[in-house]
Amino acid sequence: AQKITQTQPGMFVQEKEAVTLDCTYDTSDPSYGLFWYKQPSSGEMIFLIYQGSYDQQNATEGRYSLNFQKARKSANLVISASQLGDSAMYFCAMREGFGNNDMRFGAGTRLTVKP
Amino acid sequence: SQTIHQWPATLVQPVGSPLSLECTVEGTSNPNLYWYRQAAGRGLQLLFYSVGIGQISSEVPQNLSASRPQDRQFILSSKKLLLSDSGFYLCAWSGLGLATGELFFGEGSRLTVL
C-alpha cells in the first residue's frame, strides 16, 4: 500500500515567491519521522528537513519549513523566497518506528522556479 | 566526517550481461545500508537494505541481488540484466544514534541496458 503520496507531479513558482509542496502519509505507528529531499538535475539527493511525529513545533531550516498537520497526516514543505536554484525534484519520505528501519519515498514533485 | 561513494557513475550494458555496483561508506561503523532504484522521472524504489554484515532484506523480487561482504561495503549485482533494469541506482546509509535517522546518499549510478 502506498505510504507516501505527493499529488503534484509538477509545480511552478515565480522567483522570490513562496511555494508549498504537498505530502500526505499513512501509518499506524505512533512513532515516525518525515523527511524532505531535493534532487537537482545532477541526481544527488540532498536532505532538507526532518519532522518527528512527537515534535510539538513545525520544523524549520533556513528557507524551508514543514507544515506538519498530524491529524490530517500531512507534511507539506514550504519554500519561502524561491530562487532559481530551487528548481529540482522534491521527495517526501517517511521512516516508521524507532531505530533505523527502511525509508519510503513519495513519487516526487518537480518544482520549476521562473525568473 | 562520513562519506559515501558508489561506482561506476555511468554504465551501459547489453541485455543478459552481469552487473556489479559497489558502494562504500567511510567515517562510521555498522551503518544501515540501502540500495534504491529510480526510473526516469519517477520516485525512489527501495530494493535492498542491510543492518549488518551478511544481513540483507529484499523489498522487490527481481533478478537483482545484494551482498554486504564487509561492514561498510554494499554491492548490488545481477547475473543477467533485463531492459527493465535500466535506471538510476542510489546507495545510502543511515547511522545508529542519529536522532533523525536521515539517509545520506551516494552520487548515484546511471545504468542503461540496451
Tens digits of residue pLDDT in B6-43? 999 999 999 999 999 999 999 988 899 999 999 877 78
Average the pLDDT over B88-104 and give the result: 81
- Is A45 at the interface with chain B, CB within 8 A? yes
- Given an 8 Å threshold on Cβ–Cβ distance, is B96 in contact with A99? yes
Average the pLDDT over A85-102 and give the result: 85
For A31-74, the pLDDT digits (tens) are 899 999 999 998 889 999 999 999 989 999 999 999 999 999 99
- Given an 8 Å threshold on Cβ–Cβ distance, is A45 in contact with B94? no
Q: Quick one: CA dihedral B89, B93, B94, B96, positive or negative? A: positive
Q: Are B93 and B3 in contact (CB under 8 A)?
A: no
Closest-CA distance of chain A to residue B83, Å: 21
- The per-residue pLDDT of chain B, averaged, comes to 90
Task: Pick B94's closest partner by Cβ from A43, A100, A108.
Answer: A100
pLDDT of residue B60: 78
Residue B110's pLDDT band (boundaries 50, 70, 90)?
Answer: very high
- Ordered DSSP codes for A2-43: --EE---SEEEEETTS-EEE--EE----S-EEEEEEEE-TT-
Residue A84's pLDDT band (boundaries 50, 70, 90)?
Answer: very high
Q: Are A43 and B110 in contact (CB under 8 A)?
A: yes
With beta carbons under 8 A apart, name residues in chain B contacting A95.
Answer: 101
pLDDT of residue B29: 87
- Ordered DSSP codes for A77-97: EEE-S--GGG-EEEEEEEEES
Quote the CA–CA distance of A24 and A2 in Å, as a whole number: 10
- Given an 8 Å threshold on Cβ–Cβ distance, is B108 in contact with A52? no
Place of cell 551482498: B67
Q: What SS3 string covers chain B?
A: CCEEEEECCEEEECCCCCEEEEEEEECCCCCEEEEEEECCCCCEEEEEEEEECCEEEECCCCCEEEEEEECCEEEEEECCCCHHHCEEEEEEEECCCCCCCCCEECCCEEEEEC
With beta carbons under 8 A apart, name residues in chain B contacting A50.
Answer: 100, 102
- Per DSSP bridges, beta strands A109-114 and A10-14 are parallel
pLDDT of residue B96: 62
In whole angstroms, how far apart are CA B44 and each of A91, A107, B29? 9, 7, 25
Q: Which of residues 39-58 of B touch A (CB under 8 A)?
A: 42-44, 46, 49, 51, 57
Residue A100's pLDDT band (boundaries 50, 70, 90)?
Answer: low
